[in-house]
Amino acid sequence: MLASIVAAAIALALLAAWFYPRWRLQRVLARPMSAEREAILSRNIPVYQRMPAELQAQLRRLVTQFLHQKKFVGCAGLEVTEEMRVTIAGQACMLLLNRPSRVYPGLYTVLLYPSAFLVPRNRPDEAGIVTETREDLLGESWSDGRVILSWDHVLRGARDWTDGHNVVLHEFAHQLDSESGSNNGAPYLGHPSSYRSWSQVLSRDFAMLRQQAYFSQQSVLDHYGAQSPAEFFAVATETFFEKPYQLAERHPDLFDEFKKYYRVDPREWVAAPPQEAPDYGFAFGQWQ
């Protein structure tokens, strides 16, 4: 009899542990976003105002869930404000539009510094001798449930949606990448057949970017993406959302792969850039 009572109590506790967070989330999502939060989205992420009403509504709901589930921690004396939380959540959740998502289920904490922060690094040389150095970073994504960001650069990236540099899009692309089990530039694509085209296109364009970086050639993709397939995916994500016209023109297959993956076309939210003069340079045996 006692064993039955204990088993029933455990079952009820497990049921409550499963049900209560979901009940709380549904209650939060049932309420409309506050005017203060929506004003922050409009002010700090100008592209929000150009999105269709359906996507705006999706983004508000995703942001509400993000803010409900994720913890923000200020570092180096920074006091986290509502403006900081909403600005970060708004950009991060733009990567989740039009597709089912649990809103970064592996992420628990966002650590926020006032500006670029120093992190220790161990650098081995050619002889295998490891030297400890410190490196300035704007952001970093960890596989243990943390993202680290510089607020100065978060705000700069949000308000200038045309330069192809956005630390939030970059670091949260890494979070999506890791959902497939490893950070290798191949996020979870759903059907196994999708990986064939993804691999062919991204491998080719990654090799092209590495060549352009080696010879200091101009590219619509930041040369930082030439470091690894994971960094290429993150850099290409920044470019897809902030320079969609340029990416579609110079890397049409890459643009199409990202359009299929992210299920949006950012060209609908931003004005087309001025037409550039043609470049008749010749390099590596092909016209650039």
State the average pLDDT over residues 230-239. Answer: 97
What pLDDT, on a 0 to 100 scale, did the predictor assign at position 9? Answer: 45
Cα 55 from Cα 48, distance rounded (Å): 9
Parallel, antiparallel, or unpaired for β 286-287 and 282-283? antiparallel
100 or 255, higher pLDDT = 255
Average pLDDT, the chain: 86
pLDDT band at 284 (very low <50, low <70, confident <90, very high): very low
Clarify whether residues 156 and 244 are in a common domain.
Answer: no
Name the E strands within 114-259: 117-124, 130-137, 139-141, 146-150
The domain that holds 268 is classified in CATH as 3.40.390.10
Parallel, antiparallel, or unpaired for β 117-124 and 130-137? antiparallel
pTM for the whole thing?
0.84
Cα 176 to chain centroid distance, Å, stands at 7
What's the pLDDT tens digit per position in 74-109? 999 999 999 999 999 999 999 999 998 899 999 999
State which residues form the domain around 112: 29-160
CA proximity to 67, closest of 84, 44, 50: 84
DSSP 167-207: HHHHHHHHHHHHTTTS-SS----SSTTHHHHHHHHHHHHHH
What pLDDT, on a 0 to 100 scale, did the predictor assign at position 271? Answer: 84
Residues 6+ apart with CB under 8 A from 279: 288
Clarify whether residues 197 and 152 are in a common domain.
Answer: no
State the average pLDDT over residues 264-278. Answer: 83
pLDDT beyond 80 at 115: yes
State the average pLDDT over residues 17-45. Answer: 82
pLDDT beyond 80 at 203: yes
Cα 240 from Cα 265, distance rounded (Å): 9
pLDDT beyond 80 at 28: no
Determine, yes or no, domain membership for 2.
no
Clarify whether residues 102 and 217 are in a common domain.
Answer: no
What pLDDT, on a 0 to 100 scale, did the predictor assign at position 8? Answer: 47
pLDDT band at 268 (very low <50, low <70, confident <90, very high): very high
What pLDDT, on a 0 to 100 scale, did the predictor assign at position 169? Answer: 97
Clarify whether residues 198 and 138 are in a common domain.
Answer: no
Determine, yes or no, domain membership for 257.
yes
Determine, yes or no, domain membership for 99.
yes
Determine, yes or no, domain membership for 286.
no
Clarify whether residues 141 and 189 are in a common domain.
Answer: no
Count of domains forming the chain: 2
Clarify whether residues 80 and 144 are in a common domain.
Answer: yes
Clarify whether residues 201 and 117 are in a common domain.
Answer: no
Least confident among 86-100, 124-138, 170-184, 199-213: 124-138
Least confident among 73-82, 150-159, 272-281: 272-281
User: Residues 110, 94: contact at Cβ < 8 Å?
Assistant: no
Least confident among 20-24, 34-38, 99-103, 255-259: 20-24
Q: How far are the Cα atoms of 109, 208, 246, 254, 286 from residue 283, in angstroms, in the given order?
A: 46, 12, 20, 21, 6
CA proximity to 97, closest of 53, 67, 141: 53
User: Residues 168, 92: contact at Cβ < 8 Å?
Assistant: yes
Determine, yes or no, domain membership for 3.
no
Clarify whether residues 142 and 220 are in a common domain.
Answer: no
Burial class from Cβ neighbours inside 10 Å (0-12, 13-18, 19+) for residue 75 reads middle
End position of a domain, from candidates 160, 194, 229: 160
Clarify whether residues 71 and 141 are in a common domain.
Answer: yes
Clarify whether residues 55 and 145 are in a common domain.
Answer: yes
The domain that holds 69 is classified in CATH as 1.10.472.150
